[in-house]
Amino acid sequence: MNITQILHSYGEDGFSYSPVSVPIYETSIFSFKNFEEFQNSLLNEFESHLYTRGKNPTAEVVEKKIAALEKAEDAKLFASGVAAISAATMAFLKSGDHVVCVKDAYGWTLRLFSQYLKRFGVEVTFVEGIDPGDFIKATRKNTKLFFLESPTTFTFQLQDLSAIAKFAKENKIKTVIDNTWATPVFQNPIPLGIDLVVHSASKYIGGHSDVVAGVVVGSREDIRHIFNTEFMNIGATIGPFEAWLLLRGLRTLHIRMQRHMENTLKVIEYLQTVPEVSEIYYPFYAKHQQYELAKKQMKGGSGLLSIKLKVNSLEEIIAFTNAFRVFRIAVSWGGYESLVMPHAATNRDGLTERNKIVRLHIGLEDPNLLIDDLERAFQAMRKVRP
């Protein structure tokens, strides 16, 4: 199936009146003609419309599309990316198990393993993951799950998905990857051997900074297992309206991703000329240390990158941040708009090496507007240089 067929029509049959826009099924319950139908539904909630905590027709359309985009059998939407990550991992873990996780993964993923699951007797080893050997060396007899995030979304380090998946399969270890950055448009980990893909749909899938949501993608068997365990019990269900917002976002996902990439490459061309930029972290920047791997396992790059500033004081970073007029100061990313996130704002540690890193989200604006805005920020920074 072609990507536009998936995004424009796939999974949308069967609604009365042939609507072009899928209806929002704002209902908590579904009713039945008789005892027998009711009983069948109660005994197989995974496959029937009984209650919106389990299944809702608006959400289902989005689930079908995302599964198709990821070349997978099934998908399940969640109320947030973090809910999706928690369910996809906890469904396969029990007390005494061990997890290997990428060290630079999303903050709440790190907390899930280092603090939350620790309370339930699950152990974790964090690894850099650039070398597949990092995962192999960290594996123990009780290792049940590898958690990947490729690329990571602060320093943009990649993991070799095929190599890690191969080792995991041979050792019966479940593999889960956070694929939020690349989106299903640019990276499909399941054909490379990864078991489960999670996304924060609050980012590019939603695409308009107006919804918090998540999704888990995988085999029908794994999704059924997650449904019958963490999904129904934790109950972090997406609402029908939020699911519909994702559907609206999906209509243009492929077009937006193309533009995010084009804009980002133009901004990088400019950033390369700025003497105060000591490093550019972006997998499709030709000088990235894993550029070849990026090209091998991804079709393109999205709009999120980091830069390291050559600065001698925190004041320079503050002046840089405060000078923007187009880029907005905010967490998250993946919307139509450009954002700036100085790592120094996340702590009070002063001018550490890590605090010299500033994360930028390149939105869908005219790239010249963004370059002018960056130039304004660098000039403001130079003015306060000690």
Ligand X SMILES: *Cc1c(COP(=O)(O)O)cnc(C)c1O
Q: Check binding of 297 to ligand X (CB under 6 A).
A: no
329-348: which residues touch ligand X (CB under 6 A)?
A: 332
Q: Check binding of 378 to ligand X (CB under 6 A).
A: no
Is 203 considered catalytic here?
A: yes
Complex with ligand X: residue 9 or 332, whichever CB lies closer: 332
Q: Which of 178, 195, 222, 373 is catalytic?
A: 178
Residue with token string 């950033």: 271
Q: Which amino acid appears at position 16 of this protein?
A: S
Out of 22, 197, 212, 247, point to the residue binding ligand X (CB under 6 A).
212
Which residues does 364 contact at the CB level (< 8 Å), separation at least 6? 256, 259, 260, 263, 336, 337
Is 251 considered catalytic here?
A: no
Q: Check binding of 301 to ligand X (CB under 6 A).
A: no
Classify the phi-psi angles of 308: left when phi > 0, otherwise alpha if psi is within -120 to 50, otherwise beta: beta
Q: Check binding of 202 to ligand X (CB under 6 A).
A: yes
Complex with ligand X: residue 167 or 184, whichever CB lies closer: 184
Is 118 considered catalytic here?
A: no
156-195: which residues touch ligand X (CB under 6 A)?
A: 178, 180
DSSP 128-164: --SSHHHHHHH--TTEEEEEEESS-SSS-----HHHH
Q: Which of 25, 106, 204, 281 is catalytic?
A: 106
The stretch near ligand X (CB under 6 A) out of 58-66, 74-82, 159-167, 221-229 is: 74-82
Q: Which two tokens stand for residue 45?
A: 């909630």
CB of 73 to ligand X, least distance (A): 23
Cβ contact 72:205 at 8 Å:
no
Q: Check binding of 290 to ligand X (CB under 6 A).
A: no
Complex with ligand X: residue 74 or 242, whichever CB lies closer: 242
Q: Which of 51, 53, 103, 299 is catalytic?
A: 53
Q: How far, CA to CA in Å, does 283 sit from each of 78, 179, 237, 353?
A: 28, 14, 33, 21
Complex with ligand X: residue 67 or 198, whichever CB lies closer: 198
Out of 58, 153, 264, 306, point to the residue binding ligand X (CB under 6 A).
153
Burial of 20 (0-12, 13-18, 19+ CB in 10 A): exposed
Q: Check binding of 58 to ligand X (CB under 6 A).
A: no
Cβ contact 342:321 at 8 Å:
yes
Q: b vs e for 28-58, b when ≥16 Cβ sit within 10 Å of the residue's Cβ?
A: eebeeeeeeeeeebeeebbebbbbbebbbbb
CB of 284 to ligand X, least distance (A): 17
Nearest position to ligand X, beta carbon: 81
Q: Check binding of 106 to ligand X (CB under 6 A).
A: yes
Residues that contact ligand X, how many (by CB under 6 A): 14
Q: Check binding of 355 to ligand X (CB under 6 A).
A: no
- The helix (H) or strand (E) run that includes residue 76 is strand 74-78
Is 106 considered catalytic here?
A: yes
Q: Which of 203, 256, 308, 356 is catalytic?
A: 203
Catalytic residues: 53, 106, 178, 203
Binding site for ligand X (CB under 6 A): 80-82, 106, 149, 153, 178, 180, 200, 202-203, 212, 214, 332
